[in-house]
Chain A
Amino acid sequence: MLVEQIMTRDVVTLAPDNTLQEALDISRRHRLRHLPVVKDGFLVGLISDRDLRAAAPSSLDQAGDNSILCDVRVEQLMVNEVITAHPLDFAEDAASQIYKHFIGCLPVVSQNKLVGIVTERDVLRTLVEMMGVNAPTSRIEVEVPDKSGMLAQISDLLRARRINTSAVMVFPGGKEGYKTIVFRIRTMDPRGFIQDIEAAGYRVKMHPCAVTDGEV
């Protein structure tokens, strides 16, 4: 999946000469945590609602002077060095950038112009969809030897039963020389599939059908 498939295209932006008060109003009205600052379509900075709130006087201070918010312009507070993504980056690369740099969003830039934004939430939503959680499924974990062809062998069992798969994930197994394949399959009755797996000599782990009572 590419960044262009998960990004928001309709980005709410600020101009460098907007005041902090205007920026605060916009971030509240649209409930946005990050606002790219754009001049002639080019990304020139980024400002977060946290920076804006930090600049505003405390709401507890009755005598708080709001005039500073109306006097200071966005370009005086914004971050200039923005980490960005490209529309053709992989979604997982965007996730990794957000994670590594402790940031909440990535403006998406193409030919120097801002074309979209990817937030933590977009990445999480994509992850949830990739894990197949949004479709009705049963979840089964299978332990297989760590060698080639294992996924194909189990997939053959699914094909034989006309069961559609919503997601497959492969993890290193807990045991040396094994790995775990997690299937989310679109059936309410996985009994036959579980039997097929066991008959083929593999172990179903972490499924209540395959354990003693109360041991999950």
Chain B
Amino acid sequence: MAGNGNSAFVYSDAFTRYKFTEDHPFNPKRLEMTLDLIRTLDLLDPGQIVTPRPATFEELARVHDPRYLEAVIAASAADADPDDFARWGLGTEDTPIFTGMHDATSLIAGGTLVAAELVMSGAARHALNMAGGLHHARRAEASGFCVYNDIAVAIAYLRETYGARVAYIDTDAHHGDGVQWIFYEDPDVLTLSLHETGKYLYPGTGEIVERGEGRGYGYSLNVPLEAFTEDDSWMNAMRSVVIPTLQKFAPDIIIHQNGCDAHHYDPLTHLSATTRIYREMPQVTRMLAEELCDGRLVAVGGGGYDIWRVVPRAWTMLWAELNGDPLPERVPDAWLSRWQSESPDPLPAHFIDPPGSFEPIPRRAIIEEKNEITVRRVLNGTPLLF
């Protein structure tokens, strides 16, 4: 039974056309699997589904260089040569070109725009676009599997149309660099990214000292955590930084990017979280939205490269939280039996990974200590708080 019915689920099967190659880690099958899990649990009323529209050229051009948009359009043709697009970050191993790329990525950007529109206009209290969260895309460059920055497009819309103060929370394991750089000088957009340190991990940025520039100084926050960070340390860091800064910033709307690649199983990162954080993090942002901005919360997806064991559970928990639905402890057998044959690994039977699912990290104490120091340094250096 779907919860309060006042949350919107922005979705189209066409979202799955955002697909680079068969063996690329960014696999849209995770969307199908998640939707199937949500439906199996009966958490989605058909009336809650909102169909996205593609973002227009003008809407995209609020944050992207028109020459880059033209390049993406040209690269989307069936006979495009990847070598022609290297200067735009396209045609690489990370972001290969594919036919229909512009349409697919415009639809995702439009989906996040629609989600922002629904929430800001009051038509919905919360809205989710699982396909969104393409936080690495830059003004004139594709990066890290992201072509258009749907989040930045939505924030620019909220700024221009409503003059809204936007708090952007990014809990993907990778630094939310694209969104940060686009609003680096804007004091009305607070960007806050919690991630694995860029010492080894892409994109290498997200240091504490990146705090914004000019009038935007103090309105970019970064919490780079150590490799092998586990649940408690991650959640402590998130609560300690997000709660006081949002309370002080007093946003009109919160956008939360919910990449779920900080999990122990994720093949691209080196954090050691369990699914527990994917239940607790949306609770924190939803609570803050209730407290600070009449509940206005837009949630988007993001990274998540164990598409079998992690993403469907994480984003089902996210939707249940937005929708105010209780969740059973166990993943339904019907869903498990439908997908198990395709999965290379046994699918977990519980939403929350049971205690003892993973070996404790040998250097836990020193990792936690380092993270606590990082949090202190972030808070001490944030002018917003004083």
Contact = CB atoms under 8 A, between A and B. Distances in A.
Contact of B228 (A161, A186, A208): A208
B243 interface: no
A207 interface: yes
A215 B92 contact: no
Interface string A94-120: 000000000000000000000000000
A162 B363 contact: no
B204 interface: yes
Nearest to B83: A162
B262 to A, nearest CB: 13
B195 interface: no
Interface stretch (B4-12, B113-121, B264-272, B278-286): B264-272
B315 interface: no
Interface size bracket, A side: 20 to 34
A8 interface: no
B145 interface: yes
A206 interface: yes
Interface string A138-176: 111000000000000000000001111000000000000
A215 B200 contact: no
Contacts of B201: 138
B361 A188 contact: no
B174 interface: yes
Contacts of B25: 189
Contacts of A214: 228, 272, 361-364, 367
A136 to B, nearest CB: 3
A186 B361 contact: no
B136 interface: yes
A18 interface: no
B319 to A, nearest CB: 26
Contacts of B204: 133, 135-139, 184
A188 B362 contact: no
Contacts of A124: none
Nearest to B303: A188
Nearest to A209: B270
Interface string B260-298: 000000011010100000000000000000000000000
Interface in B141-194: 143-145, 174, 177
Contacts of B144: 136, 188
Contacts, number: 78
B202 A138 contact: yes
Contacts of B86: 164
Contacts of B94: 186-189
Contacts of A139: 198-200, 204
A215 B363 contact: yes
Nearest to A136: B203
A137 B175 CA distance: 11
B317 interface: no
A38 B217 CA distance: 36
A213 interface: yes
Contacts of B361: 213-214
Interface string A165-201: 0000000000000000000101111110000000000
Given A136-B143, A136-B144, A213 B92 contact: no
Given A136-B144, A139-B204, 9 more contacts: A133-B204, A137-B203, A162-B92, A188-B145, A191-B268, A213-B362, A214-B272, A214-B364, A216-B200
Interface of B: 25, 86, 92-94, 136, 143-145, 174, 177, 198-205, 227-228, 267-268, 270, 272, 359, 361-364, 367
